Amino acid sequence: MNYSKIIHQIEHELQDFPNNGKVASYIPELSKVDPEMFGLHLYCIDGNHHSFGDSTERFSIQSISKVFSLTLAMQLLGDDLWKRMDVEPSGNAYNSLFQLERENGIPRNPFINSGALVISDILVSEYDNPKDEILKFVRKISGKHTINFNEKVAQSEKQHGHRNAALANLMKSFGNIKNDINAILDVYFYQCSLAMSCEELASAFMLFANEGKILETNEQVILPIKVQRINALMQTCGFYDEAGEFAFRVGLPGKSGVGGGIVTVHPEKYSAAVWSPKLNQKGNSLLGMETLERLTTKTGLSIF
């Protein structure tokens, strides 16, 4: 498969694509991004890299970081983790309190905010310095040691984080948050502020295309059965209220963030990260989804 040719063809086709998406503005820091940024990085299991556009520019990965913290929590806790959250799509806006209230403080899955807050709570319980551990882990699996949190974004999240504080307090009232709420919010907001490029994201997510091993070093970081489950979760829950649409159009597991990034994984074939800040109405990168749909259509490859 000539991936290089295919992705440049897509880049060319999308040059004049009418993009009526909107940059996320719920925190001021996010709205400062250049809305026209657009890049893709494809990392093949044979070790080859292909990319176009702003693929080495770092951006706020936001909810994509939930895959990293989930992976850490799955290493630490095993199946006990699933007593504190479910693995089902929410069928609701990603930060809804409704379901959480009806279901007694048990989040639907680890990729909605409430689920990610429980993951933060676990990391706070298990680690002396959870933020350091997250950073260490991301640097290790991507092989990029300058990756860091964006302090301004983290502070901006904190100042506008009342909805997440509501979720955490609600879960604490049900006994599903063990630690101090400010401590877990701190971990959560920093994690969301991670700044990475498409190249770095594709490198990190190769772990999930390569049965849990870092491709460069062949180190087994997480068991294959756990990777399959993380991929299954990305497939059914990785796109807020649009997981079905992504499965339907793209046909690969993936995770998006309101910073405009989407990472997707074709097990045993490749990982790919795309970035375009303008979001569709469901909060996913409009051009990103279009790009990935064309990628699987042109390669004829989806997991289905």
Check if 298 is active-site.
no
Check if 258 is active-site.
yes
92 is in an annotated binding site: no
Distance CA 237, CA 110 (A): 8
Report in angstroms how near the CB of residue 193 gets to a second copy at its nearest.
19
Check if 188 is active-site.
yes
Distance CA 235, CA 109 (A): 12
Distance CA 141, CA 153 (A): 23
Whether the Cβ atoms of residue 292 and residue 254 lie closer than 8 Å to each other? yes
133 is in an annotated binding site: no
Check if 274 is active-site.
no
Smaller CB separation from a second copy, 53 or 253: 253
Residue 59 bridge partners (DSSP): 196
270 is in an annotated binding site: no
Check if 55 is active-site.
no
Q: By CB neighbour count within 10 A (0-12 exposed, 13-18 middle, 19+ buried), where does 217 fall?
A: exposed
Report in angstroms how near the CB of residue 182 gets to a second copy at its nearest.
11
69 is in an annotated binding site: no
Give the binding site for a second copy (CB under 8 A).
Answer: 86-92, 96-99, 101-102, 108-109, 160, 162-163, 165-167, 169-170, 172-173, 224-225, 227-229, 231-233, 235-237, 241-245, 247-248, 251, 253, 267, 297, 300, 302-304
Distance CA 129, CA 52 (A): 37
Per annotation, catalytic residue among 55, 65, 66, 156: 66
In the β-sheet with 59-60, what is the strand arrangement from edge to edge? 59-60, 194-196, 148-149
Smaller CB separation from a second copy, 215 or 227: 227
List residues forming the annotated binding site for substrate: 63, 113, 157, 164, 188, 240, 258
